[in-house]
């Protein structure tokens, strides 16, 4: 560290540089934490997850022999496993929340 006590101009430059850095950091935090931006990021995350779910269900769809239009159908075992997993996860989350309240 420099000896700023002998050079007041250097001390002033350092203080001004620190103020600019602090102001930039505060502005960045305010932007990151603004409700509008938080909501926007949440919406984007939900859209991305929805796209992944659609792609996953697209992978589950397969042509069926008894399907006349060739559109295919969802494998019922896979669908039931997915529903069962969703119910299990939901029950686990609700159980943990209830335990935390006590």
Query: At a CB cut-off of 8 Å and minimum separation 6, what does 11 contact?
Result: 4, 5
What's the pLDDT band for 29 if we cut at 50, 70, 90? very high
Residue burial 1-33, b: 16+ Cβ < 10 Å; e: rest? eeeeeeeeeeeeeeeeeeeeeeeeeeeeeeeee
- Give the pTM: 0.42
pLDDT tens across 45-62, in order? 888 887 787 777 666 665
């Amino acid at each position: 560290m420099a000896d700023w006590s002998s050079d007041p101009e250097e001390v002033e430059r350092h203080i001004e540089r620190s103020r600019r850095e602090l102001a930039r950091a505060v502005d960045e935090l305010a932007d990151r934490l603004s409700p509008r931006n938080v909501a926007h990021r949440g919406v984007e995350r939900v859209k991305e997850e929805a796209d992944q779910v659609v792609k996953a269900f697209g992978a589950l769809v397969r042509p069926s022999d008894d399907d006349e239009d060739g559109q295919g159908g969802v494998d019922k075992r896979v669908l039931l496993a997915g529903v069962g997993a969703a119910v299990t996860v939901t029950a686990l989350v609700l159980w943990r929340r209830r335990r935390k309240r006590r």
